Each structure stands twice: as structure tokens, then as C-alpha cells.
Amino acid sequence: MVTFIASVMSLAAISINRYILIVHANKFRELYTKRNTALCIAGVWILSLTLASPPLLGWASYGYLEGQSFCFCEWTEDVLYTFFMVVVCFGGPCSVMTYCYTKILRVFKESQRNVHRTQGPTVGIFWQL
């Protein structure tokens, strides 16, 4: 469960990284130092461990999946926990990714329009294919 959550949270962290690099390029080097990057990675794993721990503390439970040969959350045991995990571990990161990549696309389109205005329609023609 921890790796499942960490992978989704990592995708959200990567989208934030790309968003800052493209939309706020002047702040990127200031924000993404080695220290801050290490803190971000540690934060993803700490958050993942935290979100995976409620079944160990009595809210829902983990069970062995015979067909898969590993333990995973028994989703049908506690509907509230299932709803919580879907919202926090899927809805949250998915919303962050949607926001970041929408903004990136807008900045890209605006940049493309600026290039066309200043250098003519032949520049950037491969991006239109």
C-alpha cells in the first residue's frame, strides 16, 4: 500500500516540479535546491507511510490476496476508509496534476502564439502537427 500511495504522490510531485519549471521558471533554481528536493522526496514517503498506516491502527484492515500473493487493503471492510483513500490518494493528486498540466499547456500555447506573432507562422510548425 505504501508503494501504491508513494507512486501516485510522486506523480503529483513531478507535475508540481514541471509546473514550476515551465510556468515560474525564474523561481525554479531557488525552490529546487538539493536540500528542498530531498525534503520533497522524504515528504512523499512520510505522507505515504502515514496514509497507509490507518489499517494498522484499526481503521480498516489489510488482508492477504491469494490470487495476487500479497497483502493489500480490504476495501469492502470499511467504506469510510475507502472513500477517504480515494479522495486523498487519487482525487488530491489527480487534481494537482490536472491543474499543473493545464497551466503548462496554457503557457505553452501562449508562448507559441508569441513566437508566431514575432517570427511568422513557419516557426513552430512541427508543434501544430
Domain CATH code at residue 15: 1.20.1070.10
- Which stretch of 40-44, 55-59, 66-70, 108-112 has the lowest confidence by average pLDDT? 66-70
User: How confident is the model at residue 124, as a pLDDT?
Assistant: 53
**How many structural domains comprise the chain?**
1
User: How confident is the model at residue 102, as a pLDDT?
Assistant: 97
Q: What is the pTM of this model?
A: 0.81
Cα–Cα distance measured from residue 121 to residue 8, given in angstroms and rounded to the nearest whole number? 39
User: How confident is the model at residue 129, as a pLDDT?
Assistant: 47
In a domain, 43, yes or no: yes
In a domain, 125, yes or no: no
* Nearest Cα to Cα of residue 74 among 45, 94, 54, 50: 54
For residue 19, pLDDT over 80 is answered with yes
Domain hosting residue 94, numbered range: 2-117
In a domain, 126, yes or no: no
For residue 123, pLDDT over 70 is answered with no
Cα–Cα distance measured from residue 72 to residue 120, given in angstroms and rounded to the nearest whole number? 56
In percent, the amount of the chain with pLDDT more than 70 equals 92
Cell matching residue 123: 516557426
In a domain, 51, yes or no: yes
Helix axis angle, 2-23 to 34-52, nearest 10°? 150
In a domain, 62, yes or no: yes
In a domain, 129, yes or no: no
User: How confident is the model at residue 126, as a pLDDT?
Assistant: 54
Terminal C-alpha separation, the chain: 41
Residue 12 contacts residue 93 (beta carbons within 8 Å):
yes
Residue 58 DSSP code = T
